[in-house]
A and B are shown apart, each in its own frame.
Chain A
Amino acid sequence: MNRTSHPILSMVASRVGLGLLSLLIVSLVIFFSVSLLPGSYASAILGQNATPEAVAALETRLGLDQPAIWRYLSWLAAAATGDLGQSFAGRPVMAVLGPRLLNTITLASITAVIAVPLAITLGVICARFRGRFIDRFLSTSTLASISLPEFFVAYLMMMIFAVKLQWFPSMAGIRNSMDLGEQLYRMVLPILTLLLVILAHMIRNTRAAILSVMSSPYVEMARLKGESEGRVVTRQALPNAIGPIASVVALNLAYLISGVVVIEVVFVYPGVGQAMIDAVRNRDVPVIQACALIFATAYIGFNLLADIVSIVSNPRLLHPR
């Protein structure tokens, strides 16, 4: 096999290219949709009573008198190096968002590390014991947890574990001054809430993906070879269901970065979501743009990863004739 022309490399390269292209389009939308908003940056910063001269001076300082396409390109170039510009409050956007992003990533990572293996295991168990008690129980409870709005789940958690049992604090306002144990202790309830929300999706989809290959002839063949039902599910069906499982996992991981806004607000957790709510309240456009760009990058990145996983898990592509 010729390593340089391996079809997988070119497929992966083209997926990465497509991902970058979508990111570019998203950045265009983010940048120009903000300029559709009424009023200019400068008058928004200076307030309604600003003189036209002051507005013009600020526009020159911020580079807003340049042509839009030029501004977009320099914004994009800066964003690519991690510089997301100045917030209206005068601080660099990254200084505002950086620590928040770190908090969100911490929360998301801990949740993901617990959720993904747990969801796949439970999904496999449901598929193995389909129609039995454990399957029905999990199917019903996951359906219930999908149907409930996440803020409601959050308040439910708070009521049970913070108010009634008083095991965990209801506020997850962590600070750098706290030690790690204290920070983790405060994060328990948000993590639990997020787990309930994303586990449900992943369990159901894992189960469905496995069951859809359970009717394949090779599954019947494995049974005719006397393989036990558990091994039929884990060895024969699961490897063939990796693609669809990877894509639902990717969607849920992306949700962990961007969709946690509500959870962060409910628990007063100092993450990107909170920052975005604050920015929207203050009309701090550069921060909103930065948040949108971060969320879009997370979505596109995780989906790209899922695509690559499903390409690599396909033996026809990994081992061409």
Chain B
Amino acid sequence: MAVEPSPAVLEIRDLRIEAKSSDSWSEIVRGVSLSLRKGEVLGLVGESGAGKSTVGLAALGYLRPGARASGGSVRLLDTELLAIPEEERRRLRGTKVAYVAQSAQAAFNPVHRLMDQITMVAVDRGGLSRAEAEKRAVALFTALQLPDPQHFGARYPHQVSGGQLQRAMVAMAMICNPALIVFDEPTTALDVTTQVEVLISIRKVIEEFGVAAIYITHDLAVVAQIAHRVAVLRYGEVVEEAPIASIMDHPEHPYTQSLWAVHEMPANDPAAEGASAAALLSIERLGARFGTFEVLSDIDLRIGRGETVALVGESGSGKSTLGRVIAGLKAPSGGRALFDGAALPPKLRQRPLDLLRRIQIIYQSADTALNPRQTVRAIVGRPLALYQGLRGAAREKRLIELLRMVELDESHAERLPGQLSGGQKQRVAIARALAAGPELIICDEITSALDKVVQADVLRMMIGLKERLGVSYLFITHDIEVVRAIADRVVVMQHGRIVEQGEKDRVFAPPHEPYTERLLASVPDMAVGWLDRIIAARVA
């Protein structure tokens, strides 16, 4: 991946962007400078809110509503984007510089066929006839390894899978052969197994067509596979910029080092007594269906006291449904469940209050799981009153204990969820679950929506809480890193069935079941060259 010196495609100098919050303007991009040559890929990493997308969009001369450029320059080829009228900037978009969004599902218009959306810019402004544009699209579909490239474009967005749609968006960006493409977290919404396919396709077209690219991501392992250089953004500033190999091996800035450290979270020692501990929950031959569609079949599962069982699999594999069945939110269609030796009634309504107390659930998105109009005190206080019968001073005392347990303090009790950060919100959701005094907590992707740094803190806290309180976790996740960090045992699901389960060390050590093998092999290594090896292995 050598880059020969050539004139800059993009030159950003001391860019400053302000965003309007309530009545005042505050700077969200503070003097960013970047430059890109032909065929070069620049990784832009950082946590959410660091200003990655804002900088990426500025490369298209585009500012989101409520934002304005207050200084600096953005030079694309020979054009100063901030100096020309919007109408001229508009004409460059799609033809000279293109954008690939995070969620292709949302970024494609549901009412138009893929071919129409992909070829539109080329026909309108790219100077191609419809037939020529379609021919080029088919060539791109082939290069992107989409199935049945001749007829792929005739479909509507909802008729193709998420990974295919993401590749179709890459084709849409490439249609006019732009000089620069901005990839904004293009694989974040995908499963690991799908992510590999999309990464391979993106790498292939970047190299084949020699386009320059900005690749925005928060996943360092991904950026290591794609980028030549990496710029680390924090609070709207570039804290470090270096070639990929050197920044992976020797991150210099303390913030970069902390990002890197998070990625190498130590694996926990599986509870030694995990296997021998008394069973808290045991499930036999459980099934569930939506209408006639079988989402779960033949599930056998056992969770011991004080044990963490990680449930992994792709989206749609039935992990969350299994969690909901155990929590009583969805009735199973068959099978048997024992909780602490007694039959677990299938429906929520049939479960006595004390049983509800003993099984709690925490959701992926604390944003939607917490009532935005209730204070933290009301949110956490409610289960204290309902399950523990605590009133007045006793409840307040317990409330503060719980907030401390999740590393918040009494000053947070008065706040509304909207006044908390993403990580704090999830901590409140955890405190609410703990307030009931549960024995089993179902954690449904509770760290997926969080940044890596916050995620690591929350995971450490969860491990600590388990040791102190002796609760069991059913930890639903698609992130193998998380599994390594927290699980005692691992259950792998695919198409509503369990394909493998066992002690973590055994499941993660070869030989694997074929699906587990594919899942593990799809997780990018935190090292340059991992994708090259995957590609080489496929060619061989």
Question: Which A residues lie at the B interface, using CB under 8 A?
Answer: 216-218, 220-228, 235-236, 239-240, 313, 315-316, 319, 321
CB contacts (< 8 Å) of B99 on chain A: these are 221, 224-225
Further contacts, 17 of them, CB under 8 A, given A220-B64, A226-B95? A218-B110, A220-B101, A221-B108, A225-B93, A225-B99, A225-B120, A225-B121, A226-B91, A226-B125, A228-B90, A235-B112, A239-B112, A240-B109, A315-B111, A315-B156, A316-B158, A321-B158
Which residues of chain A are near B98, meaning CB under 8 Å? 224-225
In the complex, which residues of chain B have a beta carbon less than 8 angstroms from the beta carbon of A220? 64, 101, 107
A222–B172 Cα distance when bound, in Å, is 11
Provide the B514-531 mask, 1 if CB < 8 A to any CB of A, else 0.
000000000000000000
B-chain residues with CB within 8 Å of residue A226 when the two chains form the complex: 90-95, 121, 125
Binary contact readout B155-166 vs A (1 if CB under 8 angstroms, 0 otherwise): 110110000000
Chain B 356-372, CB-CB to A under 8 Å as 1, else 0, gives 00000000000000000
Given contacts A218-B106, A315-B158, A321-B159, contact A224 B111 (CB under 8 A): no
In the complex, what residues of B have CB within 8 A of residue A217's CB?
101, 103, 106-107
Contact check, B109 vs A218: say whether CB atoms are below 8 A apart. Answer: yes
Interface readout for B297-308 with A: 1 if CB under 8 Å, 0 if not?
000000000000
A225 to B103, CA, bound (A): 16
**Residue on B nearest A238 in the bound complex, by CB:** B111
Listed A/B pairs (30) with beta-carbon separation below 8 Å = A217-B101, A217-B103, A217-B106, A218-B107, A218-B108, A218-B109, A218-B110, A220-B64, A223-B62, A223-B93, A224-B93, A224-B94, A224-B98, A224-B101, A225-B93, A225-B94, A226-B90, A226-B93, A226-B94, A226-B125, A227-B124, A235-B112, A239-B112, A240-B109, A313-B111, A315-B110, A315-B111, A316-B158, A319-B156, A321-B159
| B109 neighbours in A (Cβ, 8 Å) | 218, 221-222, 236, 239-240
Inter-chain CA distance A221–B112, complex, in Å, is 14
Q: How far is the CB of B111 from chain A (nearest CB, A)?
A: 4
Taking Cβ atoms with an 8 Å cutoff, the residues of B that contact A are 57, 60, 62, 64, 90-95, 98-99, 101, 103, 106-112, 120-121, 124-125, 155-156, 158-159, 172
Which A residues lie within 8 Å of B60 (CB)? 224
Q: Least Cβ distance of A313 to chain B in Å?
A: 7
Rounded to whole angstroms, the CA-CA distance of A236 and B110 in the bound complex is 9
Q: Residues of A contacting B111 with CB < 8 Å?
A: 239-240, 313, 315
Q: How far is the CA of A287 from the CA of B112 in the complex (A)?
A: 49
Closest A residue to B160 using CB positions: A321
Closest residue to A215 on the B side, CB-wise? Answer: B65
Contact A319-B159, Cβ < 8 Å, known A224-B60, A225-B98: yes
Query: Which residues of the partner chain B approach A313 to less than 8 Å between Cβ atoms?
Result: 111
Tell me, in angstroms, the Cα distance from A127 to B124 when the chains sit together. 23
The 6 residue pairs across chains A and B that have the minimum distance between CB atoms: A226-B93, A217-B106, A226-B94, A225-B94, A221-B107, A224-B99
Q: Within the complex, what minimum Cβ distance (angstroms) separates A234 from chain B?
A: 12
B residues near A239, Cβ cutoff 8 Å: 109, 111-112
Report the minimum CB–CB distance from B87 to chain A (whole Å): 8
The residue on B at minimum CB distance from A217 is B106
B125: A residues at CB distance < 8 A: 226
A235 and B91 CA atoms in complex are apart in Å by: 17
For A240, the chain B residues whose CB sits under 8 A away are 109-111
CA gap between A223 and B94 in the complex, in Å? 9
